[in-house]
Amino acid sequence: MNRALPAGFGIGLVAGGSLRVAFGSNWFLVLAVVTLYTGLGYFTVEYRRLLTREYPPFDRSVDRFGYAIGLFGLSIGPVAVSRQLTTADVSLQLFVAYLGVVGFLLASSAAAVGSERDAR
């Protein structure tokens, strides 16, 4: 069984749960953060060499679920942040969501570059 996906979900749940408990964030923002950090967690657990800036090879068909979860978080994130902006102060909450976006995009693009190199 692929251990990266459950580990990614664990990382996402910890990030989202922390945001909910610490700031009382709305569930929509929590869902966006959970999915972003799940995608980020998946790629960093599956390809630990990403953390040392080496690009590992991977088969895209195996990683589609990690992409799907992270992209879902990217798609609902702006709406979730805008809803939170109307109800409360989001200074640190916005920063946490922003880190998830940047982390997911960097990890998934680094992994994709590695797979493109191997295809040649």
pLDDT of residue 90: 61
**108 occurs within a structural domain:** yes
pLDDT of residue 16: 92
| Closest of 95, 112, 104 to residue 37, by C-alpha | 104
In the predicted structure, residue 98 carries a pLDDT above the cut 60: yes
15 lies in which domain range? 4-86+102-119
How many other β-carbons are positioned within 10 Å of the β-carbon of residue 103? 18
**92 occurs within a structural domain:** no
Quote the CA–CA distance of 19 and 23 in Å, as a whole number. 6
Q: What digits encode the pLDDT tens for the residues 50-92?
A: 666 544 444 555 677 777 788 788 888 787 777 777 766 667 7
In the predicted structure, residue 120 carries a pLDDT above the cut 50: no
Which residue shows structure tokens 């408990």? 21
| Closest of 93, 74, 76, 75 to residue 84, by C-alpha | 93
In the predicted structure, residue 6 carries a pLDDT above the cut 60: yes
How many other β-carbons are positioned within 10 Å of the β-carbon of residue 114? 17
How many other β-carbons are positioned within 10 Å of the β-carbon of residue 119? 7
Number of structural domains found in the chain: 1
Q: What digits encode the pLDDT tens for the residues 31-45?
A: 988 998 898 888 888
Q: What digits encode the pLDDT tens for the residues 8-29?
A: 999 999 999 998 998 888 888 8
